Amino acid sequence: MAARPTWQGHLKLSLVTCPVALYTATSSSAHVSFHLINPDTNNRIRMVPTDPDAGPVERSDLVKGYEVSKDEYVLFDDADFDKVKLETTRTISIDSFVDEGDIDRLYWDDPFYVVPEKGVGAEAFAVIRDAMKSAGKIAIGSLVLRGRERQLALEVRGKGLIAYSLRPHDEVRDAEDYFDDIPALKADKDMVEIASRIIAQKDTEFDPTRFKDRYDDALREMIKAKQKGGKGVVAAPEPDDTNVIDLMQALRNSLAGSAAAKKPAAKKPVKASAKKKPAAKKKAA
């Protein structure tokens, strides 16, 4: 396997334990990133830590500070962080099982592939995996990763498991704080019926390969153009806002447009070509 594991340890269900490794299931390397460059020298800029009074300072001499009020900080050095650092147990202990629908999607976070290490532990992994699949449940566990304790939700995926880190409860904002101000309107039945028909026309299979970042794509095209000495720019136009006054007409136009897009184009008639007559045979002299 080409990728390096993010974490290695053991997966434990009661008395059944097996060695496993976690691999990050997603990658952000596809995003276009930039460095700061001095256009006069074409040199990459290095950020030098600077004290407003003392000037440039060595990064190794600095400590971290938590701001408790304006310009007032509680200071922490490495020794302070070591005092609260959690001991790495190297074990994902499955504590409970829940239905997938019981976990609010707001809590799902980074996914990891859980892969068994080769050897005798593979059979124990298969036992845990197949038992979870048979029960149809999501396993809840925890592990210490990069000095922090993380709650995990594990689900069966093919021959392996997917472990999702779960956001802490205090990181998830209450939806009612944002939705309470939405006016309680009852939508027009005719409009809802037309919108439902539009939804039905646009019903399709989920295809993540169609998901593109138009901004990144435009940047890549610009990078290629600049490499070749060109000045091409690819624009990504924004969609127009819905005209609320003509909402019913917009729905009808959308419905008609969707239907026309699905209707197969009429085939042009193809004229049958006349068969060529066989050439007359020459008489023998």
Q: Write out the chain's pLDDT in tens, 285 residues.
A: 557 888 999 998 888 889 999 999 987 766 778 888 888 888 888 888 999 898 999 988 999 999 999 989 999 988 887 777 666 568 898 989 999 889 999 999 999 999 998 877 888 999 999 999 999 999 999 888 777 788 999 999 999 999 999 999 999 999 999 999 999 888 889 999 998 998 888 888 877 777 777 777 777 787 788 778 755 455 555 666 555 557 778 778 887 877 776 666 555 544 444 444 445 444 444
pLDDT of 153: 95
pLDDT of 27: 79
Q: Letter for the amino acid at 218?
A: A
Task: Identify the H or E element spanning 253.
Answer: helix 247-262
Q: With CA atoms as reference, report the closest residue to 258 among 196, 187, 189.
A: 196
**Domain formed by 7-27+85-171, architecture:** Beta Barrel (2.40)
Cβ-proximal residues to 92 (8 Å cutoff; 6+ apart), any chain: 9, 10, 11, 12, 20, 114, 141, 142, 143, 152, 154, 163
